[in-house]
C-alpha cells in the first residue's frame, strides 16, 4: 500500500461521510471527519515531503480508467518537488483553516454542508496538484471550480452571494474554454496527455506552426497561451479578475482557503508545472509577465481606497498573484512558487484575522470600525504580523519571496524585465500602504460604529485564535527556507525546485542585487510611514486628497470601472440584442425560431412520429413488411 | 443403432436450470407463500452460476457451444433474473398476480436466452428464441384482469410470430444455399462456394436481420415495444427490456461475426441505417411521452441503436464494447424500473411522469436514486452509462465510423431532454400530493446493487471491459 | 413434367386457400377452408417423399388441432364478431408492401444456387424408409433441438393453463 495515495482520498472519504451522515447523525459534530481527514493528509504530506527530499520522486499510473486504441486516460500521480511543496501548502494551511472554521461556522444551519464541501474542495485541489496527466489536472481544475461555486454561494438565501457564485462560475467558463482547447491541442500534437512524454518531446516542436482561426501561429505559443487562458480565469488575472472580489460574499474561511491560499494559485502552479512548454515560447512568456504586472499594479491601487475589509485583502491577493505570474513570465518559476508558498501563509492569516474581526463587529466596513486593538489584542497582533509580511518588511516571509521576484525581474533576460521591475517597485509601495491603512482604520483610533455594536465586541474563541497564531508564525518564518545567498542564506527553496523548474540564468552583480533590494525595501517603508501619517497622525489628509484628486479617487474606488465596462460592452449588448430580437422580432421568429424552434420542431416531429404508433397490430405488421422490403431493396440495388 | 450419450459437460448449467425450473413449477403446488418460490428461483440461479463457471466446450455435434462469449451473456441474463425476481416479489402481490408460475416462466425464458447465447446452430438458435419468446408472451399478459396487459401479450405474440416467419425463411434459405445450419460451417461453405456476392445469401441475411432487429427492438421493427412495455407488468417490462434484448444482441453478434464475417460490408451498411433510424425514433418519440414506462420503452429502443454501433464496428473491440454496454444497461435500466415499481401502490399506478412531481421533497432517497439512473441513461459521467457509450463510440471511431458517432452523440444529447425532464419534475417542482412508496427488502436490495454497480462501473470501468475482452479471447 | 404440374397446382392452391381462410367473415367457414388447406400441404409432403410428415400433418393438424379450433369457435359466442366490417384497416398498404416484398424476394432469389445434397439422398430414403430415417435423425443428430422443442411445449401448456385458469379474486 502506497501511503501517499491516501492524501487526496482521506478528504474524499470525509466528504462522503459528511454528505451521508452529516444532516441526521453528525449535525454539529460534522467538523470531525473533515478536520481529521485533512490533518491526516497533512501528516502524510510531510512524510512524502521527506521522501522527496531524499530523492524519491513518484510518477506512476495507479489505475487506467479508459484505454481504447491510442487514447488512454489514467488516474496517476506525480509527486515531485513542486507537488510536495503544493501538498504542504494545501494541507497545512487547509488544516488550520478547517480548525478555525469550527469556531467561525459554529451554529450555522449548513454546518455539515460547509465541511462536506470543504473536504470535497480539498480532494479536488489535491488531485489537481498530484495529477500526472492533463486530463486529471483538468478534472481537479473543474472540481475546485465547482466547489468554489458552491461555497461562494453557500449562503444562497443572500442574493449577492448567489449572484457572486454565478459570476465566478461564468467568468471562469471563458478561461476554462481556452484551457480545454489547450489540452486538446496537446493531445492532437503529442498523442498523449501525460506530463512526462509531453514535456520531454515539446522541444521537437519548436518552430512548428499551425493554422488557428485562419492565422499561421507558432504551435508552442498557441498551446502555452491557451493554457494560460485557464490560468487567467482561475487565478483571476486581468481581464478575468472581476469574479474574485465578488467571491468575498462566501464565508471567510472559504475566502482564506480557496480565494487566497490554494485554488487561485492553481494557475501559477499550472504554469510552473508546464514550464517546459512556456519556456520555449518567448512570446507567451512576455504575455504572462505583462498580464501579471498589469494585474499586480491595478489591483494594488484599487486596494488603497476600498472600505470592505475582505475586498481589500481580495485585491491584495490579485496583486500578489500578479507578482507570481511575473516571476513565471521572466522564467523564475521557483521564485513564483516560493511566493505562492509564503503568500498562502500570510494571506490566509490576513483573511482569517479579518474573519475574526467580522465575527466581532458583524459587518465588513472598515470606516465603521476602529480602536479594536483593545478588544481583540490577539487578532490585532497576528494581523499586524500578516500585514508586515505582506508588505515586504525585511525578515518576514513575504520579504524574501517578493524580493526574489523583484530581483528576478530586474536581472532576467526577458525583454520586458525592466518594465515589470518598475511596475513591481510601484507595487512595493502600495502593498504596505493599503495593508496598514486597513490595520490602522480597523484597530487604531476610536470605535466609529454604534454603541450597540461596541457592546458586542469581543476576542474570538481559542479554536479561532490558535490557528491564527500558528499562521502568524508561518508568516514570519516560512520565508526562511529561501533566504537568498546575498543575505547569507542558501536559497534552499530554489535549489529544491530546480529538478522540476530548472534554474533561470540571471545577469547581475551582488551589488546590484543589494541595490534593488534596498530600493524596494525603502519604498515599502515609505509606504508604511505614509499610511501611518495618513490614518493616525493627520487623518484629514486622505479626505482632502480624495476631494482634490476626485477623478483618480472615483476611478480607483470604482475599480477602474471594469465591471461597468463589461456591463456596457458585454452584458448590456447581449441583453439588448436578446431583448431586441425577442421583443422586436417575435413575430418574425428569429431568436424564437432558433432557441425554441429546434426543440419545438423536434417536439412536433416527435408528435407526428408518435402517431405512427397507432396501437393497431396490422399497421405494425405492415411496417415490418415495409421495413423488410426497403432493406432488401436497398441491398438489391446497392450490390 | 449406434446411440451415444453426448458429452454433457458444456451444457450442465442449462440442464440444472431446466431441472430446477421444473421442480419449482411442481413445488409451487405445495407452497402457499409465493415469496419462497421466488427465493427458490434466485437460489437456483446462484447454483447454476457455479455450474456455469466450470462449463466450456462444444457438444451435441457442435450444435451447442459454451465459450467466454456465451458465458458473459449468461451472466447478464442471471443478473437480469435475480434483480427482476427481487423487484417482483412485492409488486405482483399489489397487482394481484401472485402466482408461482410467474417465477418458473421467468426461469424458462432465461433457459431460452441461454440457449440463444450458446447456439452454434441455427435450429438451436431458433428454438431457444421461441422458448424465450413464448415465456415472455405469457408473462406480458400475466395481469389477466387488465385489458392493457392482455393486449400487450397478444400483440407481442402476433408480431413475434410474424418475425419468426422471417427468421425461419432466412434460415431455410441459408440451408438451401449452404446445405448446413451449423454457424461455423456456413462461413466455410460461403467462401468455398464463392457465395459472397450472391444476392440470395444477402436476402437471407436481411431476413435474419429483420428477425433479430425485432428481438432487439430496432427500428423499423420496434413497433411492438412501446405497447408491450407499457402493458406488461412493470417487473416484466424490466425483464424484457434487458434479457431478450441482450439475447438478441448475442445471436446477432455470433451469427453475423462468425457465419457471415466475409460479407461484413453488406450487413454493416444495413445495420448502420437501422442504427440511425433506431436512435432517431427512440430518442425523438420519447420526447413526447407522458407515461414513464412508455418513455423507457423508447429509451430502450434508442439504447439498442447505440449498442448496434458495437456490431457495426465488426471487430472484437466493438463486440466487447457492445457486451460491456449490455451489462451496464442491465443495471441502470432495472434500477430505474425498481424506482418506478416503488411508486406503484394499491390503487395508484404511478406511471405518469406527473406522479414524479416534487418527489425529492418527500422521498429524497428515491429521487436521488432515480437521478443517478437517469444520469446514467443519459450518459453523464461518472455513471456507468457514460462509460458504456464512451467505449461504444470509441470502438466505432476506431473502426472508421466517426460520422456515425457524431450522429449518435447528437441523438444522445437529445435524449438528455426527456431523461432530465424526470429529474426536473422531481427536483424543481412543488409536489402536488404525497406519493406513498411501496418499499420492500427486495426492492431495496435491487436499488442498492444497481446504484453501486452504476457508480462503480462508472468510476472503475476497466474491470468490466477487461472481463468482456477476456470473454472474447478465441472468439 | 406431370409431377411439376401437380406441384404447381398444390403450391398455387395453398396460396389461394390461405388467402381464402383469412378473408372469411364466418369463422366456421374459415376453419373448414383451413381443413382443405391442410390436405393440400400434406400432399406437398408426399411429393417430397416425406410420407410420415404427410401422415402426421393429417393426423395432428387436420385431425386434432382442427377439431379443437371448431370447438373453440362454436363455444365462443362468435356472432357479434362477424359484424366487424373490416378486419384490416389499410389493407391496400399491406397488400402493396406484401407484393413489393414478394417482388424483391423473387428478384433476389434469381441467383439462388442449390447446395450439394447431404447424405440422405432420395434413394437412401426410399431404401431406408422415411419414417425410420427421420426417427434415427431425431434421436441422434437432432436430439438436442428435439428436447428443446419438448421444453417449448411444456411452457406452452403452463402458459395456457396460467392464462385460462380462473383464480380466486381477492
Q: What are the DSSP calls for A606-629, one per residue?
A: HHHHHHH--S-HHHHHHHHHHHHH
Q: Which of B206, B201, B225 is CA-nearest to residue B215? A: B225
Task: For residues A533 and A537, give the distance between their C-alpha atoms in angstroms, rounded to a whole number.
Answer: 5
Task: For residues B246 and B304, give the distance between their C-alpha atoms in angstroms, rounded to a whole number.
Answer: 9
Using the predicted structure, report yes or no on whether residue C84 has a pLDDT greater than 60.
no
Candidates B162, B209, B213; nearest CB to A621: B162
**Upper half-sphere CA count for residue C39 (Cβ side, 13 Å):** 6
| pLDDT confidence of residue A275 | 87
C1-84: CATH topology? 1.20.120
Task: For residues B260 and B263, give the distance between their C-alpha atoms in angstroms, rounded to a whole number.
Answer: 5
| Cβ contact A292:A324 at 8 Å | yes
CA distances from B270 to B181, B219, B267, B274 (A): 23, 12, 5, 6
pLDDT tens string C95-113: 888 899 999 999 888 888 8
pLDDT band for A409, please (50, 70, 90 cuts): confident
Q: How many residues does chain A have?
A: 639
Cα A163–chain centre separation = 19
In a domain, residue B319? The reply is yes
Cis peptide before C55 (omega within 30 of 0): no
pLDDT tens string B92-147: 998 888 888 999 999 999 999 999 999 999 999 999 999 999 999 999 999 988 88
Using the predicted structure, report yes or no on whether residue A261 has a pLDDT greater than 50.
yes
pLDDT tens string C4-62: 898 899 999 999 999 898 888 777 888 889 999 999 999 998 888 888 889 999 999 88
Contact flag B130-C152 (C-beta cutoff 8 Å): yes
Question: For residues A576 and A149, which has the higher predicted lDDT (pLDDT)?
Answer: A149
Q: Which residues of chain B does A631 touch, with a Cβ-Cβ cutoff of 8 Å?
A: 206, 209-210, 270, 273-274
Contact flag A625-C97 (C-beta cutoff 8 Å): yes
Candidates C136, C155, C163; nearest CB to B144: C163
What chain C residue is nearest to A626 in terms of C-alpha separation? C97
Tell me which of B209, B280, B287 to substitute to probe the interface with A (most A C-beta atoms closer than 10 Å). Answer: B287
| pLDDT confidence of residue A587 | 43
CA distances from B148 to B145, B229, B233 (A): 9, 10, 10
User: Distance, in angstroms, between A605 CA and closest chain C CA?
Assistant: 23
What chain C residue is nearest to B203 in terms of C-alpha separation? C108
Candidates B270, B281, B288; nearest CB to A631: B270
Tell me which of B194, B200, B207 to substitute to probe the interface with C (most C C-beta atoms closer than 10 Å). Answer: B200
On whether any CB of chain A is under 8 Å from the CB of C109, the answer is no
Using the predicted structure, report yes or no on whether residue B88 has a pLDDT greater than 90.
yes
Contacts of B466 (CB under 8 A, 6+ apart): none
On whether any CB of chain B is under 8 Å from the CB of C119, the answer is no
What chain A residue is nearest to C95 in terms of C-alpha separation? A622
Using the predicted structure, report yes or no on whether residue A245 has a pLDDT greater than 70.
yes
Q: Which of A266, A19, A259 is CA-nearest to residue A142? A: A266
Mean pLDDT of all residues in A601-608: 70
Contact flag C116-B179 (C-beta cutoff 8 Å): yes
Contact flag B202-A628 (C-beta cutoff 8 Å): no
| Total Cβ atoms within 10 A of residue A317 | 28
Q: Which of B246, B241, B277 is CA-nearest to residue B113? A: B246
What's the structural domain count of chain B? 1
Contact flag C149-B128 (C-beta cutoff 8 Å): no
On whether any CB of chain A is under 8 Å from the CB of B207, the answer is yes
Question: For residues B86 and A504, which has the higher predicted lDDT (pLDDT)?
Answer: B86
| Cβ contact B286:B415 at 8 Å | yes
Candidates A67, A613, A632; nearest CB to B223: A613
pLDDT tens string A338-380: 888 888 888 888 888 888 888 888 888 888 887 788 888 888 8
| pLDDT confidence of residue A591 | 45
Contacts of B409 (CB under 8 A, 6+ apart): B393
| Cβ contact A379:A465 at 8 Å | yes
On whether any CB of chain B is under 8 Å from the CB of A593, the answer is no
pLDDT band for C170, please (50, 70, 90 cuts): very low
Q: Which of B439, B434, B354, B337 is CA-nearest to residue B94? A: B439
* pLDDT above 90 coverage of chain C, percent: 26
User: Distance, in angstroms, between A604 CA and closest chain C CA?
Assistant: 25
Mean pLDDT of chain B: 90
| Total Cβ atoms within 10 A of residue C154 | 17
Contact flag B108-C117 (C-beta cutoff 8 Å): no
Contacts of A291 (CB under 8 A, 6+ apart): A228, A232, A237, A238, A322, A325, A329
Q: Under DSSP, is residue A436 helix (H, G, I), strand (E, B) or coil?
A: helix
Using the predicted structure, report yes or no on whether residue A31 has a pLDDT greater than 80.
yes
In a domain, residue B2? The reply is no
Contact flag A63-B395 (C-beta cutoff 8 Å): no
Widest distance between CA atoms in chain C: 68
pLDDT tens string A424-456: 888 888 888 888 888 888 888 788 877 777 777
Cell, residue A258: 480557496
On whether any CB of chain B is under 8 Å from the CB of A603, the answer is yes
User: Distance, in angstroms, between A638 CA and closest chain C CA?
Assistant: 12
Q: Partners for B (CB, 8 Å, 3+ pairs)?
A: A, C
Instruction: Enumerate residues 617 to 636 of chain A having a beta carbon within 8 A of any beta carbon in chain B.
Output: 617, 619-621, 623-624, 626-628, 630-632, 634-636
| Cβ contact A379:A353 at 8 Å | yes
Contact flag B203-C108 (C-beta cutoff 8 Å): yes
3-state DSSP percent of chain B in helix, strand and coil, to 5:
75, 5, 20
| pLDDT confidence of residue A381 | 87
| Total Cβ atoms within 10 A of residue A349 | 33
Mean pLDDT of all residues in A625-639: 85
CA angle B198, B204, B205 (to 5 degrees): 90
Task: For residues B49 and B71, give the distance between their C-alpha atoms in angstroms, rounded to a whole number.
Answer: 10
Instruction: Enumerate residues 251 to 290 of chain B having a beta carbon within 8 A of any beta carbon in chain A.
Output: 266, 269-270, 273-274, 281, 284-289
| pLDDT confidence of residue A60 | 84
Candidates A619, A628, A635; nearest CB to C101: A628
| pLDDT confidence of residue B12 | 92
* pLDDT above 70 coverage of chain A, percent: 93
> Nearest 10 degrees: CA dihedral of A315, A316, A318, A321?
180
| pLDDT confidence of residue A595 | 47
Instruction: Enumerate residues 116 to 155 of chain B having a beta carbon within 8 A of any beta carbon in chain A.
Output: 154-155
In a domain, residue B3? The reply is no
User: Distance, in angstroms, between A627 CA and closest chain B CA?
Assistant: 6
Q: Which residues of chain A does C93 touch, with a Cβ-Cβ cutoff of 8 Å?
A: 622
| pLDDT confidence of residue A596 | 55
Radius of gyration in angstroms for the set of CA atoms belonging to chain B, rounded to a whole number: 21
Mean pLDDT of all residues in B259-283: 90
Contact flag B177-C158 (C-beta cutoff 8 Å): no
Task: For residues A301 and A347, give the distance between their C-alpha atoms in angstroms, rounded to a whole number.
Answer: 18
Task: For residues A206 and A408, give the distance between their C-alpha atoms in angstroms, rounded to a whole number.
Answer: 25
Which segments of A334-474 are extended strands (E)? none
Task: For residues C163 and A478, give the distance between their C-alpha atoms in angstroms, rounded to a whole number.
Answer: 82
**Upper half-sphere CA count for residue A507 (Cβ side, 13 Å):** 4
pLDDT tens string C128-140: 888 888 888 888 8
User: Distance, in angstroms, between B426 CA and closest chain C CA?
Assistant: 34
The DSSP letter of residue A263 is G
Residue range of the domain that includes B156: 9-471
Task: For residues C65 and C71, give the distance between their C-alpha atoms in angstroms, rounded to a whole number.
Answer: 10
Q: Which residues of chain B does A613 touch, with a Cβ-Cβ cutoff of 8 Å?
A: 223, 226-227, 285
Residues paired with A216 in a beta bridge: A211
Cα C62–chain centre separation = 11
Contact flag B198-C113 (C-beta cutoff 8 Å): yes
Task: For residues C70 and A49, give the distance between their C-alpha atoms in angstroms, rounded to a whole number.
Answer: 91
Q: Which of B429, B297, B425 is CA-nearest to residue B371? A: B425
pLDDT band for A578, please (50, 70, 90 cuts): low
| Cβ contact A392:A524 at 8 Å | yes
On whether any CB of chain A is under 8 Å from the CB of C161, the answer is no
Q: Which of B64, B158, B281, B210 is CA-nearest to residue A629? A: B210
Contacts of B453 (CB under 8 A, 6+ apart): B331, B384
User: Distance, in angstroms, between B358 CA and closest chain C CA?
Assistant: 33
Question: What are the structural domain ranges in chain C?
Answer: 1-84, 118-170
Q: Which residues of chain C does B135 touch, with a Cβ-Cβ cutoff of 8 Å?
A: 155, 159
The DSSP letter of residue A66 is E
CB under 8 Å, gap of 24 or more: what pairs does A481-485 form? Answer: A482/A338, A482/A400, A482/A401, A482/A404, A483/A400, A484/A400, A484/A403, A484/A404, A484/A407, A484/A513
Task: For residues A478 and A404, give the distance between their C-alpha atoms in angstroms, rounded to a whole number.
Answer: 14
CA distances from B394 to A147, A291, B321 (A): 31, 40, 9
| pLDDT confidence of residue A359 | 83
Using the predicted structure, report yes or no on whether residue C169 has a pLDDT greater than 70.
no
| Cβ contact B350:B435 at 8 Å | yes
Using the predicted structure, report yes or no on whether residue A152 has a pLDDT greater than 60.
yes
User: Distance, in angstroms, between A322 CA and closest chain B CA?
Assistant: 35
Q: Which residues of chain A does C101 touch, with a Cβ-Cβ cutoff of 8 Å?
A: 625, 628-629, 632
CA angle B242, B245, B247 (to 5 degrees): 105
Instruction: Enumerate residues 564 to 623 of chain A having a beta carbon within 8 A of any beta carbon in chain C.
Output: 616, 618-619, 621-622
Amino acid at each position: 500500500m502506497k501511503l501517499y495515495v491516501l492524501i487526496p482520498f482521506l478528504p474524499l472519504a470525509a466528504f462522503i461521510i459528511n454528505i451521508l451522515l452529516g444532516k441526521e447523525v453528525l449535525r454539529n459534530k460534522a467538523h470531525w471527519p473533515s478536520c481529521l481527514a485533512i490533518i491526516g493528509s497533512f501528516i502524510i504530506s510531510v512524510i512524502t515531503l521527506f521522501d522527496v527530499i531524499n530523492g524519491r520522486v513518484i510518477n506512476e499510473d495507479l489505475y487506467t480508467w479508459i484505454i481504447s486504441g491510442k487514447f488512454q486516460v489514467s488516474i496517476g500521480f506525480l509527486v515531485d518537488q513542486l507537488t510536495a511543496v503544493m501538498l504542504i501548502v494545501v494541507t497545512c494551511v487547509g488544516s488550520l483553516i478547517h480548525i478555525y472554521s469550527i469556531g467561525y461556522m459554529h451554529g450555522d444551519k449548513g454546518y455539515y454542508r460547509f465541511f462536506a464541501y470543504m473536504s470535497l474542495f480539498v480532494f479536488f485541489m489535491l488531485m489537481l496538484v498530484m495529477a500526472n496527466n492533463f486530463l486529471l489536472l483538468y478534472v481537479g481544475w473543474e472540481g475546485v471550480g465547482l466547489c468554489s461555486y458552491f461555497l461562494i454561494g453557500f449562503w444562497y438565501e443572500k442574493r449577492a452571494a448567489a449572484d457572486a457564485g454565478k459570476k465566478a462560475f461564468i467568468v471562469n467558463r471563458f478561461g476554462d474554454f481556452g484551457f480545454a482547447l489547450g489540452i486538446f491541442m496537446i493531445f492532437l500534437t503529442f498523442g498523449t496527455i501525460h506530463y512526462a512524454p509531453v514535456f520531454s518531446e515539446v522541444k521537437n516542436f519548436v518552430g512548428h506552426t499551425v493554422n488557428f482561426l485562419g492565422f499561421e501561429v507558432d504551435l508552442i505559443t498557441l498551446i502555452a497561451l491557451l493554457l494560460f487562458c485557464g490560468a487567467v480565469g482561475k487565478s483571476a488575472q486581468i481581464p478575468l479578475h472581476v469574479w474574485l472580489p465578488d467571491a468575498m460574499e462566501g464565508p471567510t474561511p472559504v475566502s482564506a482557503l480557496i480565494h487566497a491560499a490554494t485554488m487561485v494559485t492553481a494557475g501559477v502552479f499550472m504554469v510552473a508545472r508546464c514550464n517546459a512548454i512556456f519556456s520555449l515560447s518567448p512570446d507567451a512568456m512576455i504575455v504572462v509577465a505583462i498580464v501579471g504586472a498589469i494585474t499586480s499594479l491595478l489591483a494594488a491601487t484599487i486596494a488603497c481606497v476600498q472600505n470592505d475589509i475582505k475586498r481589500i485583502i481580495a485585491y491584495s491577493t490579485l496583486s500578489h498573484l500578479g507578482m507570481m505570474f511575473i516571476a513565471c513570465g521572466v522564467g523564475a518559476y521557483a521564485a513564483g512558487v516560493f511566493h505562492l508558498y509564503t503568500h498562502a501563509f500570510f494571506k490566509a492569516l490576513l483573511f482569517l484575522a479579518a474573519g475574526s474581526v467580522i465575527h466581532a463587529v458583524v459587518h465588513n466596513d472598515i470606516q465603521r470600525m476602529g480602536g479594536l486593538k483593545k478588544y481583540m489584542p490577539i487578532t490585532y497582533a497576528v494581523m499586524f504580523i500578516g500585514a508586515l509580511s505582506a508588505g515586504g518588511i525585511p525578515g518576514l516571509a513575504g520579504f524574501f519571496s517578493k524580493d526574489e521576484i523583484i530581483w528576478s525581474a530586474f536581472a532576467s533576460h526577458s525583454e520586458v524585465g525592466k518594465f515589470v521591475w518598475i511596475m513591481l517597485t510601484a507595487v512595493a509601495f502600495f502593498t504596505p500602504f493599503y495593508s496598514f491603512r486597513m490595520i490602522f482604520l480597523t484597530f487604531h483610533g476610536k470605535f466609529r460604529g454604534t454603541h450597540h455594536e461596541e457592546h458586542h465586541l469581543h476576542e474570538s474563541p481559542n479554536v479561532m485564535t490558535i490557528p491564527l497564531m500558528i499562521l502568524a508564525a508561518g508568516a514570519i518564518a516560512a520565508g526562511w527556507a529561501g533566504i537568498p545567498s546575498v543575505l547569507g542564506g542558501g536559497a534552499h527553496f530554489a535549489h529544491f525546485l530546480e529538478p522540476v523548474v530548472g534554474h533561470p540564468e540571471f545577469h547581475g552583480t551582488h551589488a546590484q542585487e543589494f541595490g534593488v533590494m534596498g530600493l524596494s525595501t525603502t519604498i515599502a517603508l515609505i509606504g508604511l510611514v505614509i499610511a501611518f501619517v495618513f490614518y493616525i497622525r493627520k487623518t484629514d489628509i486622505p479626505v482632502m486628497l480624495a476631494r482634490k484628486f476626485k477623478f483618480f479617487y472615483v476611478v480607483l474606488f470604482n475599480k477602474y470601472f471594469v465591471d461597468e465596462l463589461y456591463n456596457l460592452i458585454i452584458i448590456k449588448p447581449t441583453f439588448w440584442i436578446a431583448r431586441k430580437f425577442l421583443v422586436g422580432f417575435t413575430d418574425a421568429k428569429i431568436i424564437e425560431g432558433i432557441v425554441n424552434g429546434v426543440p419545438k420542431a423536434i417536439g412536433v416531429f416527435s408528435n407526428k412520429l408518435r402517431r405512427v404508433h397507432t396501437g393497431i397490430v396490422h399497421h405494425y405488421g405492415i411496417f415490418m413488411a415495409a421495413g423488410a422490403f426497403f432493406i432488401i431493396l436497398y441491398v438489391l440495388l446497392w450490390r | 443403432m449406434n446411440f451415444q450419450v453426448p458429452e454433457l459437460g458444456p451444457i450442465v448449467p442449462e440442464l440444472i436450470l431446466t431441472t430446477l425450473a421444473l421442480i419449482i413449477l411442481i413445488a409451487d403446488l405445495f407452497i402457499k407463500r409465493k415469496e419462497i418460490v421466488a427465493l427458490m428461483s434466485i437460489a437456483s440461479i446462484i447454483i447454476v452460476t457455479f455450474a456455469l463457471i466450470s462449463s466450456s466446450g462444444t457438444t451435441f455435434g457442435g450444435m451447442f457451444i459454451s465459450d467466454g462469449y456465451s458465458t458473459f451473456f449468461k451472466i447478464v441474463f442471471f443478473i437480469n433474473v435475480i434483480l427482476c425476481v427481487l423487484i417482483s416479489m412485492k409488486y405482483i402481490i399489489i397487482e394481484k398476480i401472485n402466482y408461482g408460475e410467474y417465477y418458473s416462466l421467468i426461469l424458462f425464458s432465461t433457459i431460452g436466452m441461454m440457449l440463444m447465447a450458446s447456439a452454434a446452430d441455427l435450429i438451436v438458435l431458433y428454438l431457444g428464441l421461441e422458448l424465450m419468446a413464448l415465456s415472455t408472451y405469457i408473462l406480458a399478459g400475466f395481469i389477466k384482469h387488465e385489458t392493457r396487459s392482455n393486449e400487450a401479450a397478444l400483440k407481442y405474440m402476433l408480431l413475434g410470430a410474424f418475425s419468426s416467419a422471417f427468421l425461419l425463411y432466412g434460415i431455410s434459405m441459408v440451408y438451401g444455399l449452404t446445405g448446413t445450419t451449423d454457424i461455423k460451417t456456413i462461413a466455410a461453405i460461403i467462401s468455398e462456394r464463392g457465395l459472397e456476392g450472391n444476392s440470395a445469401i444477402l436476402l437471407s441475411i436481411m431476413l435474419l436481420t429483420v428477425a433479430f432487429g425485432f428481438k432487439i427492438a430496432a427500428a423499423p421493427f420496434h413497433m411492438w415495444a412501446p405497447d408491450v412495455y407499457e402493458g406488461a407488468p412493470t417487473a416484466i417490462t424490466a425483464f424484457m427490456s434487458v434479457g431478450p434484448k441482450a439475447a438478441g444482441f448475442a445471436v446477432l453478434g455470433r451469427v453475423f461475426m462468425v457465419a457471415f464475417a466475409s460479407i461484413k460490408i453488406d450487413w454493416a451498411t444495413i445495420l448502420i441505417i437501422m442504427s440511425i433510424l433506431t436512435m432517431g425514433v427512440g430518442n425523438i418519440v420519447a420526447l413526447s411521452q407522458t407515461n414513464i414506462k412508455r418513455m423507457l420503452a423508447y429509451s430502450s429502443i434508442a439504447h439498442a441503436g447505440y449498442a448496434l454501433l458495437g456490431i457495426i464496428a465488426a471487430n472484437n473491440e466493438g463486440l466487447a464494447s457492445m457486451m460491456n454496454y449490455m451489462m451496464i444497461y442491465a443495471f441502470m435500466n432495472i434500477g430505474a424500473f425498481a424506482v418506478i415499481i416503488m411508486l406503484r401502490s394499491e390503487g395508484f399506478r404511478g406511471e405518469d411522469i406527473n406522479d414524479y412531481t416534487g418527489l425529492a421533497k418527500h422521498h429524497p432517497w428515491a429521487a436521488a436514486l432515480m437521478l443517478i439512473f437517469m444520469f446514467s441513461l443519459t450518459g453523464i459521467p461518472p455513471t456507468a452509462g457514460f462509460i458504456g457509450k464512451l467505449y461504444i463510440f470509441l470502438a466505432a471511431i476506431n473502426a472508421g465510423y466517426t460520422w456515425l458517432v457524431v450522429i449518435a452523440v447528437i441523438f444522445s444529447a437529445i435524449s438528455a431532454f426527456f431523461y432530465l425532464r424526470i429529474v426536473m419534475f422531481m427536483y424543481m417542482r412543488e409536489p402536488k400530493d404525497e406519493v406513498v412508496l411501496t418499499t420492500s427488502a427486495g426492492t431495496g436490495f435491487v436499488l442498492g446493487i444497481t446504484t453501486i454497480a452504476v457508480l462503480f462501473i462508472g468510476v472503475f470501468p476497466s474491470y468490466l471491459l477487461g472481463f468482456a475482452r477476456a470473454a472474447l479471447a478465441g472468439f | 413434367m406431370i409431377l411439376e404440374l401437380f406441384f404447381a397446382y398444390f403450391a398455387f392452391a395453398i396460396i389461394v386457400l390461405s388467402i381464402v381462410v383469412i378473408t372469411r367473415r364466418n369463422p366456421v367457414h374459415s376453419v373448414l377452408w383451413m381443413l382443405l388447406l391442410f390436405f393440400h400441404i400434406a400432399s406437398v409432403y408426399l411429393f417430397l417423399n416425406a410420407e410420415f410428415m404427410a401422415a402426421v400433418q393429417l393426423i395432428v393438424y387436420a385431425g386434432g388441432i382442427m377439431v379443437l379450433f371448431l370447438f373453440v369457435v362454436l363455444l365462443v359466442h362468435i356472432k357479434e364478431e362477424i359484424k366487424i366490417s373490416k378486419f384490416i384497416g389499410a389493407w391496400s398498404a399491406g397488400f402493396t408492401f406484401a407484393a413489393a416484398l414478394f417482388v424483391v424476394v423473387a428478384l433476389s432469389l434469381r441467383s439462388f444456387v442449390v447446395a450439394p445434397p447431404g447424405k440422405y439422398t432420395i434413394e437412401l430414403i426410399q431404401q431406408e424408409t422415411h419414417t425410420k430415417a427421420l426417427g434415427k435423425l431425431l434421436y441422434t443428430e437432432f436430439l438436442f433441438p428435439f428436447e428443446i422443442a419438448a421444453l417449448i411445449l411444456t411452457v406452452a401448456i403452463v402458459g395456457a393453463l396460467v392464462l385460462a385458469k380462473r383464480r380466486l379474486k381477492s
